[in-house]
Amino acid sequence: MAVKEIVADIRHLSGEVYYPSPEVLERAYIKDYPSLYQRAMQDLEAFWAERAEELEWFRKWDRVLDDSNKPFYKWFVGGKINICYNAVDRHMKTWRKNKVALYWEAENGERRVLSYYDLYREVNRFANVLKALGIRKGDRVTIYMPRIPELPIAMLACARIGAIHSVVFAGFSVEALHTRIEDSKSRLVITADGGYLNGRIVETKRTVDEAVRRSPSVEHVLVVRRTRHEVPMEPGRDYFYDELARLPFAQGECPVEETDAEDPLYILYTSGTTGAPKGQVHVHGGYAVYIYTTMKWVFDIKDEDIWWCTADPGWVTGHSYIVYAPLMLGATSVMYEGAPTYPYPDRWWSIVEKYGVTVLYTTPTAIRGLMRFGDEWPNRRHLSSLRLLGTVGEPINPEAWRWYYRVIGKGRCPIMDTWWMTETGGFMITPMPCVPLKPGSATLPFPGIRADVVDENGNPCPPGVEGYLVIQNPWPGMSRTLYGDPDRYVKTYWSKYPGWFFTGDSARRDEDGYFYIIGRVDDVLKVSGYRLGTAEIESALVAHPAVAEAAAIGLPHEVKGEGIHCYVILKAGYTPSEALAEELRQHVAQLIGPIARPEAIHFVDKLPKTRSGKIMRRVLRARALGLPEGDLSTLEE
Ligand code: 6R9
């Protein structure tokens, strides 16, 4: 496919355009996006095979892509590779052995520094403990931990022995954790005695206790000591990690499992349109190739870089771009446990200054949140080490983009607005440093990705017209299936337009072919960049004794992007009150997690429904925003 289909001419673009400076171009791995794109698309398999050569394989693949059973594509078939080996062991053979892998800092000022060799020892020890607890290749392990080094260490240890990790973001509460443990049938849950946020202890162990009470698959709970406050331990089931790690079986090297390229590496649950969260399955081989390549080219990672991705490792961004890709690239990363504003709103900027961060990757919500405190906080800090910035998770409004560019990047640092999803494994529509930028646009597809915005019938939308964002070819980082539910995988992603991946996002392209992501077209919300399903919020609400029926929608929120608004019908005998509204908000936060706390609860007598009984959230949203209600032909009386 000619690159013209993607973009007219990136040297002459319309609108507010930021062209790369000579310094940025000078340093960039990729200096000519259009010709690289063209080359990749001419022979996808050759392109990805060449990328895969940069990793270390126990055995090379026989075939790059097997598309004989669409949409269940297989990549690097016959290849043997282990992502942990590429992230850790590989560096033992070079000078990077003693390079800093991780600078970790906690809210209270505690610090840890781990070299690649330290990481190697820690991962081996952890893997030995997992084995001692009976964990074997293919077993599922749920990880529910605060943002401490043992979180990536536990993930890597699972990968090392071929166990499949399922990390649940520690901001989720009992119900969310329980359903994820259940669905994956995890044999082991790894947690910590607690974490810190805003000066308070987060009780991760107690949440795990409640969540596993009804989970018969769980044999053991492994507890990393972090806060050292008292937590209940169930004899025979619960073990403190440090106590096991001292024992003889935990010492020495734990052999790396020679996993198949298509062996599952992890399950990561995301919210979908209905009920149960979907377990996206990512694998050792193609996923490794994809995130390695995207990170290397988009963030131009070199040995001298200090990389800081502020996300939580429990989110896909953390899996791909805190844990696996930076380590495979041999980069030095920063990880921070705590709130961005603790104790002052310049905490993040002080971290950039202290570690000399060169690339900062964060969310629009965080940028908008910190922007509110004014320019003085960042201005008092040295931010001159920064050379590149990034954002992810939701559309960035041009105002926040410009602030980030001007106040944080001092007009020198291009912003990589990376559009992607848990399902895609890594960046899909994203600039590279050599690509001219437009505020609010994720720009153009990564080489090897054919994307478009199409109408109901699959025809490309003309410039400026909103349509569905689709991906028109397979890529190595794609999720392989939904855990235990391949039919739902086909139905959700590959049925609307056979042969194309349906993203669930709407977007438009401008006259230059640049992509602007508008938002979800399904019942998925993005609250502060976190993905939540309206169905999860609604089922939490109806679990409260006062609630008969509930509907949740997202409405624009100045900082969070979207805020949750709920419409509730009470059961007979309950009367609306401010106190009850507050109780319901608390209830949702307690069940799902603080991020799911609704902005507002509206008590109503009726909900707009289709004749088949489905709540028309679109109508609620239109009414709340004072917009036209659209087609109401399916609305019941
Ligand atoms: C990585 C991640 C996926 C959804 C996606 C879209 C939104 C992500 C974005 C963006 C606009 C960006 N999204 N990046 N929207 N611009 N740069 O966020 O994965 O949690 O699975 O969410 O996030 O709506 O469909 P995930």
User: How far apart are alpha carbons 591 and 504 in whole angstroms?
Assistant: 26
Residue 239 CA, ligand 1 centroid: distance in Å = 37
For atom 2 of ligand 1, the residue with the nearest CA is 421
Confidence of residue 618 (pLDDT cuts 50, 70, 90): confident
DSSP at 256: P
- Probe residue for ligand 1, chosen from 280, 310, 517 as the CB with the greatest number of ligand atoms within 8 Å: 517
Confidence of residue 5 (pLDDT cuts 50, 70, 90): low
For atom 26 of ligand 1, the residue with the nearest CA is 421
- pLDDT of 631 strictly over 80: no
Dump pLDDT digits (tens) for 112-142.
999 999 999 999 999 999 999 999 999 999 9
Dump pLDDT digits (tens) for 405-463.
999 999 999 999 999 999 999 999 999 999 999 999 999 999 999 999 999 999 999 99
Question: In ligand 1, which atom is closest to the CA atom of 504?
Answer: 25
Confidence of residue 110 (pLDDT cuts 50, 70, 90): very high
Q: Which residue has the higher pLDDT, 338 or 163?
A: 163
Question: In ligand 1, which atom is closest to the CA atom of 418?
Answer: 17
Confidence of residue 4 (pLDDT cuts 50, 70, 90): very low
264 forms beta bridges with 283
For atom 17 of ligand 1, the residue with the nearest CA is 419
Dump pLDDT digits (tens) for 359-374.
999 999 999 999 999 9
For atom 10 of ligand 1, the residue with the nearest CA is 394
Residue 529 CA, ligand 1 centroid: distance in Å = 7
Please give the sequence-ordered ranges of beta strands (E in DSSP) within 501-621, or none if there are none.
Answer: 501-509, 515-520, 524-527, 530-533, 547-557, 561-570, 600-603
Question: In ligand 1, which atom is closest to the CA atom of 317?
Answer: 1
Ligand 1, residues at Cβ distance < 6 Å: 270, 316-317, 392-395, 417-422, 442, 503-505, 517, 519-520, 526, 531
- pLDDT of 3 strictly over 50: no
- Probe residue for ligand 1, chosen from 421, 479, 536 as the CB with the greatest number of ligand atoms within 8 Å: 421
Angle, nearest 10°, between helix axes 174-184 and 578-591? Answer: 30
User: How far apart are alpha carbons 430 and 59 in whole angstroms?
Assistant: 32
The confidence score (pLDDT) of residue 71 equals: 98
The mean pLDDT of 143-171, rounded to a whole number, is 97
- Probe residue for ligand 1, chosen from 430, 437, 466, 505 as the CB with the greatest number of ligand atoms within 8 Å: 505
Confidence of residue 2 (pLDDT cuts 50, 70, 90): very low
Confidence of residue 628 (pLDDT cuts 50, 70, 90): confident
- Which has the closest alpha carbon to 521: 535, 504, 536, 538? 504
Question: In ligand 1, which atom is closest to the CA atom of 422?
Answer: 21
Whether the Cβ atoms of residue 529 and residue 364 lie closer than 8 Å to each other = yes
Confidence of residue 274 (pLDDT cuts 50, 70, 90): low
Residue 394 CA, ligand 1 centroid: distance in Å = 5
List Cα–Cα distances, 157 to 135, 241, 303, 464, in angstroms.
11, 13, 24, 47
User: How far apart are alpha carbons 132 and 249 in whole angstroms?
Assistant: 7
- Tell me if the pTM is above 0.90: yes
Helix (H, G, I), strand (E, B) or coil at 477: coil
Dump pLDDT digits (tens) for 12-51.
899 999 999 999 999 999 999 999 999 999 999 999 999 9
Question: In ligand 1, which atom is closest to the CA atom of 524?
Answer: 24
Q: What ipTM describes this predicted complex?
A: 1.00
- pLDDT of 270 strictly over 60: yes
Residue 214 CA, ligand 1 centroid: distance in Å = 33
The percent of residues in the chain predicted with pLDDT above 90, rounded, is 88
Burial pattern 359-382, b for ≥16 Cβ within 10 A else e, equals bbbbbbbbbbbbbeeeeebbeebe
For atom 6 of ligand 1, the residue with the nearest CA is 394
User: How far apart are alpha carbons 116 and 164 in whole angstroms?
Assistant: 23
Whether the Cβ atoms of residue 233 and residue 223 lie closer than 8 Å to each other = yes
The confidence score (pLDDT) of residue 118 equals: 98
Torsion on CA atoms 596, 602, 606, 612, rounded to nearest 10: -20
- pLDDT of 6 strictly over 70: no
Burial pattern 461-472, b for ≥16 Cβ within 10 A else e, equals beeeeebbbbbb
- Structure tokens belonging to residue 294: 């995207």
The confidence score (pLDDT) of residue 273 equals: 62
Residue 547 CA, ligand 1 centroid: distance in Å = 32
Torsion on CA atoms 79, 445, 470, 619, rounded to nearest 10: 130
User: How far apart are alpha carbons 64 and 78 in whole angstroms?
Assistant: 9
Four-residue CA torsion sign, 25, 27, 28, 29 = positive
The confidence score (pLDDT) of residue 275 equals: 65
Q: Which residues contact 406 (CB under 8 A, 6 or more apart)?
A: none
Residue 280 CA, ligand 1 centroid: distance in Å = 15
- pLDDT of 214 strictly over 90: no
Average pLDDT, the chain: 95
Helix (H) or strand (E) run with residue 196 in it:
strand 195-197
- Probe residue for ligand 1, chosen from 309, 394, 446 as the CB with the greatest number of ligand atoms within 8 Å: 394
Query: What is the phi/psi pair of residue 266, to 5°?
Result: -155, 165
The confidence score (pLDDT) of residue 1 equals: 41
Dump pLDDT digits (tens) for 562-595.
999 999 999 999 999 999 999 999 999 999 999 9
User: How far apart are alpha carbons 113 and 107 in whole angstroms?
Assistant: 15
550 forms beta bridges with 568
For atom 4 of ligand 1, the residue with the nearest CA is 421
Question: In ligand 1, which atom is closest to the CA atom of 529?
Answer: 18
Residue 346 CA, ligand 1 centroid: distance in Å = 26
Q: Is the link from the previous residue into 71 a cis peptide, with omega within 30 of 0?
A: yes
The confidence score (pLDDT) of residue 35 equals: 94
Q: Is the link from the previous residue into 20 a cis peptide, with omega within 30 of 0?
A: no
The mean pLDDT of 512-541, rounded to a whole number, is 92
Whether the Cβ atoms of residue 156 and residue 125 lie closer than 8 Å to each other = no
- Structure tokens belonging to residue 258: 């020679």
For atom 22 of ligand 1, the residue with the nearest CA is 421
What is the C-alpha radius of gyration for the chain, rounded to an integer number of angstroms? 24
User: How far apart are alpha carbons 131 and 581 in whole angstroms?
Assistant: 48
CA distance from start to end of the chain: 50
DSSP at 266: E
Residue 506 CA, ligand 1 centroid: distance in Å = 11
Question: In ligand 1, which atom is closest to the CA atom of 429?
Answer: 17
The confidence score (pLDDT) of residue 548 equals: 92
- Which has the closest alpha carbon to 64: 55, 75, 53, 72? 75
Q: Domains, the chain, ranges and CATH?
A: 528-625 (3.30.300.30)
Residue 517 CA, ligand 1 centroid: distance in Å = 9
